[in-house]
């Protein structure tokens, strides 16, 4: 309430006015004037909002002026004046007077003045309060807005709760906030009670809060949740650590809510505040609870998917290893069976025995083909396929393949046409695997072309931009992401067979996939040939696509980069560069300081590697060895293997005394796995 002061020399006047103030229950003091200085000091020491000054005191004008000059205090001044002296007011002085009351005091006028004052004051107070609420709401809105941007994209659960408590503190100024976080399967976390408090809560209080929040949690859909074990995490403001918070807190105003989306509850919140919560506070609290539930759900889903992926990868690895072991076991007896059949066939045997022995031999060879495919696939999937790349001419492989299939083609009364360019450029490849690619494609062409059909194998040199990237099946990754190379040898294997429906073209490259038709059933096979082919091509940084029409035939096109045109890999020697999920690392260790430098210079000259602009050559001495680290961020493993192989081959050619170590960074296990 505003404090009034009435100053006069006249005690009767003071009493008269004072009575009026009493009637209106207005807090006031009276002051009998003796001298200006004392009066002014008294005013300064006490905080008055309104002063009534009698004009019978000397220099009341100077006093009023001085009162108005008190800093940060706009005191309302009323002059109790004698109308006969009104003429003596100077304009200058009247500016310091806010109101006038005439003498002698008319009680009715004073009363009505005070009434109107009280009304105005009430309105002003209400306006001030509303204004305060408004600015508080604006502040809460601002904090909530900022919280939204902090929460979005955050995948760290702990950080999320931290932001939530920070927002609760900023918007609702709680005395204590508690959150019961439920145990989650995906990260094997346990129930946790997080307490944020200004003062240290006493143990008895903590126990009660724990019980309360658990009972709220159970009411909210989690009746069957097991809260027998709850870890406690306390956060107390350092400045209040020596002060305790006792059970009086339980009498404070409180707000509670579960953090949930649909049926899944993640946590329960309970906060206490000495000052009662307003309607706006409740809305703000609900907004915060709502704000946090979406990112929490995102985190849970993200982690569940991540865990499932890890599990799937584990299963895939186990399956590949199992296939590999079983295939090895199956392969072992095939060689002696084959040898025994050879012995039987070399003997003088009846036609019937020969017929069946030959049939057995064909089936042994078919079985060993399937086993070899299974072994290849498991090696590819476990990243253990060892390619023996070298610079060579594909013409040799094309000739070998044409010869190999001569008999089969004749047997099926088919025609084989070949058109190989005279001077095919060299490629950098593993000849055995290139032959396997060609063999798979020619076998299929024969299998899926009826008797009397035609097969054409041809080559041509093409540019990168002549490849219709939209129709590419392989690359699995490399062609799309790296696409280093400009010139390719294009090998086309074209048949006049049954063809493939457009919608089936992508399917045929999937593991174990076969398109149902009469020829597939007769032809055998398990649907692995094209899967393996696709992987081999990818490992050679090449590509494959198919043009086909049902009942007209298919044309399988393979492209392999030309050796002299293989682009240098951009590498990064800046060891401080952030490692990401697909970072590969090569380490060169040399006993001689110049070796690594010379070697890298040679790799650059041979156009095998090219340093990026911001590369920094990192060289340091460790156990008497000079270490060079080269990082390959965002390079697919098969491209990395291809490039490492080129570096290894260069290393073999010169006498550098360098040891090369290859590693791929795996985010899941958070370490480097050495792969050499
Ligand atoms: P498979 O060992 O069964 O031949 P592949 O992976 O080599 O397995 O081929 C998968 C499927 O693709 C085949 O079963 C067949 O349906 C289809 N296919 C492959 N090549 C041809 C082709 N030249 N003509 C028609 N269909 C083909």
Asked if residue 590 lies in contact with residue 658, where contact means CB atoms within 8 angstroms, the answer is yes
pLDDT at residue 666, rounded to an integer = 56
Atom number in ligand 1 closest to CA 525: 2
Which residue is closest in CA terms to ligand 1's atom 1? 527
Report helix, strand or coil for 386: coil
How deeply is 386 buried, as exposed, middle or buried, from its count of CB atoms within 10 A (0-12, 13-18, 19+)? Answer: exposed
Tokens 């070399």 sit on residue: 346
CB-ligand 1 contact for 453 (6 Å cutoff): no
- Give residue-wise pLDDT tens across range 175-233: 999 999 988 877 788 899 999 998 899 999 999 999 999 999 888 766 667 888 999 99
Asked if residue 195 lies in contact with residue 177, where contact means CB atoms within 8 angstroms, the answer is yes
Which residue is closest in CA terms to ligand 1's atom 7? 529
**Residue 309 to residue 324: CA distance in whole angstroms:** 22
Q: Which residues pair with 180 in a beta bridge?
A: 193, 268
* Band of pLDDT at residue 436, cut at 50, 70 and 90: very high
* Band of pLDDT at residue 63, cut at 50, 70 and 90: confident
Q: Which residues pair with 244 in a beta bridge?
A: 200
Pairing verdict, β 253-261 and 264-273: antiparallel
**Residue 672 to residue 92: CA distance in whole angstroms:** 86
Of 49-58, 156-165, 561-570, the least confident: 561-570
Distance of CA 635 from the midpoint of ligand 1 (Å): 31
**Residue 165 to residue 7: CA distance in whole angstroms:** 54
CB-ligand 1 contact for 520 (6 Å cutoff): yes
Q: Which residues are within 8 A (CB) of 534 and not within 5 positions of it... i.e. 6 or more apart?
A: 473, 474, 476, 509, 544
Q: Tell me: cis bond preceding 475? Omega within 30 of 0 counts.
A: yes
Nearest partner of 205 among 261, 246, 259, 144, judged by Cα = 246
Atom number in ligand 1 closest to CA 556: 23
CB-ligand 1 contact for 258 (6 Å cutoff): no
**Residue 472 to residue 544: CA distance in whole angstroms:** 6
- Give residue-wise pLDDT tens across range 479-498: 655 556 789 999 999 999 99
Asked if residue 19 lies in contact with residue 45, where contact means CB atoms within 8 angstroms, the answer is no
**Residue 554 to residue 535: CA distance in whole angstroms:** 20
Report helix, strand or coil for 607: coil
Tokens 């009066």 sit on residue: 39
* CA 512 from centre of chain: 34
Nearest partner of 30 among 43, 18, 47, judged by Cα = 18
* Band of pLDDT at residue 614, cut at 50, 70 and 90: low
Radius of gyration of the chain (CA): 45
Nearest partner of 441 among 453, 428, 457, 461, judged by Cα = 457
Probe ligand 1: pick from 380, 436, 444, 505, max atoms within 8 Å of CB? 444
Return the structure tokens found at 9.
């020399």
Asked if residue 193 lies in contact with residue 210, where contact means CB atoms within 8 angstroms, the answer is yes
**Residue 623 to residue 634: CA distance in whole angstroms:** 30
Does residue 322 surpass a pLDDT of 90? Answer: no
Does residue 310 surpass a pLDDT of 90? Answer: no
How deeply is 130 buried, as exposed, middle or buried, from its count of CB atoms within 10 A (0-12, 13-18, 19+)? Answer: exposed
pLDDT at residue 326, rounded to an integer = 82
The 10 Å Cβ neighbour count of residue 623 is 6
Distance of CA 491 from the midpoint of ligand 1 (Å): 18
Which residue is closest in CA terms to ligand 1's atom 20? 444
Of 83-87, 157-161, 403-407, 672-676, the least confident: 672-676
Atom number in ligand 1 closest to CA 515: 16
Asked if residue 584 lies in contact with residue 640, where contact means CB atoms within 8 angstroms, the answer is yes
* Band of pLDDT at residue 575, cut at 50, 70 and 90: very low
Q: Which residues pair with 544 in a beta bridge?
A: 474, 558
Return the structure tokens found at 261.
């989306």
Total residues belonging to the chain? 676
DSSP structure class, residue 249: G
Nearest partner of 281 among 294, 271, 291, judged by Cα = 271
* Band of pLDDT at residue 377, cut at 50, 70 and 90: confident
């Amino acid at each position: 309430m505003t404090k009034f002061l009435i100053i006069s020399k006249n005690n009767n006047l003071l009493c008269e006015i004072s009575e009026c103030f009493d009637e209106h229950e207005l807090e006031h003091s009276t002051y009998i004037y003796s001298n200006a200085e004392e009066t002014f000091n008294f005013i300064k020491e006490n905080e008055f909002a309104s002063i009534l000054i009698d004009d019978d005191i000397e220099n009341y004008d100077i006093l009023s002026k001085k009162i108005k000059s008190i800093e940060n205090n706009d005191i309302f001044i009323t002059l109790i004046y004698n109308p006969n002296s009104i003429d003596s007011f100077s304009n200058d002085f009247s500016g310091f007077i806010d109101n006038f009351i005439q003498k002698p005091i008319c009680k009715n006028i004073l009363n009505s003045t005070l009434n109107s004052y009280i009304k105005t004051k009430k309105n002003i107070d209400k306006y001030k309060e509303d204004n305060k609420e408004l600015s508080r709401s604006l502040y809460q809105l601002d904090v909530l807005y900022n919280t939204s941007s902090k929460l979005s994209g955050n995948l760290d659960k702990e950080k999320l709760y931290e932001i939530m408590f920070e927002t609760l503190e900023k918007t609702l100024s709680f005395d204590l906030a508690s959150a019961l976080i439920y145990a989650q399967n995906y990260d094997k976390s346990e129930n946790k009670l997080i307490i944020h408090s200004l003062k240290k809560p006493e143990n008895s209080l903590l126990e009660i809060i724990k019980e309360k929040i658990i009972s709220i949690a159970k009411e909210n859909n989690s009746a069957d949740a097991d809260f027998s074990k709850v870890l406690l995490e306390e956060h107390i403001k350092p400045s209040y650590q020596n002060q305790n918070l006792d059970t009086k807190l339980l009498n404070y105003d409180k707000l509670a809510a579960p953090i949930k989306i649909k049926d899944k509850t993640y946590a329960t919140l309970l906060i206490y505040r000495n000052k009662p919560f307003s309607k706006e506070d409740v809305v703000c609290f609900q907004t915060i609870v709502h704000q946090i539930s979406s990112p929490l759900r995102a985190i849970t889903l993200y982690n569940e998917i991540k865990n499932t992926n890890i599990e799937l990868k584990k299963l895939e690895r186990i399956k590949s290893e199992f296939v590999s072991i079983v295939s090895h076991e199956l392969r072992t007896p095939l060689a002696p069976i084959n040898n025994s059949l050879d012995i039987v066939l070399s003997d003088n045997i009846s036609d019937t025995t020969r017929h069946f022995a030959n049939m057995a031999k064909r089936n042994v060879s078919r079985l060993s083909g399937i086993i070899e495919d299974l072994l290849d696939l498991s090696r590819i999937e476990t990243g253990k396929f060892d390619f023996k790349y070298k610079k060579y001419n594909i013409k040799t492989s094309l000739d070998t393949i044409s010869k190999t299939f001569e008999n089969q083609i004749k047997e099926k009364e088919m025609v084989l046409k070949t058109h190989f360019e005279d001077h095919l450029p060299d490629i950098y490849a593993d000849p055995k695997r290139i032959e396997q690619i060609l063999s798979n494609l020619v076998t299929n062409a024969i299998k899926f072309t009826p008797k009397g059909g035609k097969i054409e194998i041809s080559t041509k040199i093409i540019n990168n931009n002549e490849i219709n990237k939209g129709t590419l099946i392989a690359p699995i990754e490399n062609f799309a992401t790296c696409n280093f190379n400009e010139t390719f040898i294009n090998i086309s294997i074209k048949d006049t067979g049954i063809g493939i429906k457009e919608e089936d073209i992508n399917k045929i490259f999937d593991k174990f996939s076969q398109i149902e038709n009469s020829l597939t059933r007769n032809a055998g096979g398990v649907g692995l040939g094209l899967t393996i082919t696709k992987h081999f091509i990818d490992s050679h940084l090449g590509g494959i696509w198919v043009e086909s029409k049902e009942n007209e035939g298919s044309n399988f096109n393979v492209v392999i980069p030309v050796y002299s045109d293989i682009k240098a890999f951009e590498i990064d020697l800046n060891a401080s560069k952030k490692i990401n999920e697909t970072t590969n690392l090569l380490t060169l260790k040399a006993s001689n300081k110049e070796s690594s430098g010379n070697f890298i210079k040679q790799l650059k000259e041979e156009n095998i590697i090219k340093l990026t602009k911001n590369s920094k050559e990192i060289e340091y001495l460790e156990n008497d060895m000079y270490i060079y680290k080269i990082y390959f961020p965002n390079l697919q493993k098969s491209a990395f293997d291809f490039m490492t192989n080129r570096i290894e081959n260069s290393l073999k050619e010169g006498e550098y005394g360098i040891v090369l170590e290859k590693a791929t960074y795996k985010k899941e296990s958070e370490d480097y796995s050495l792969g050499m």
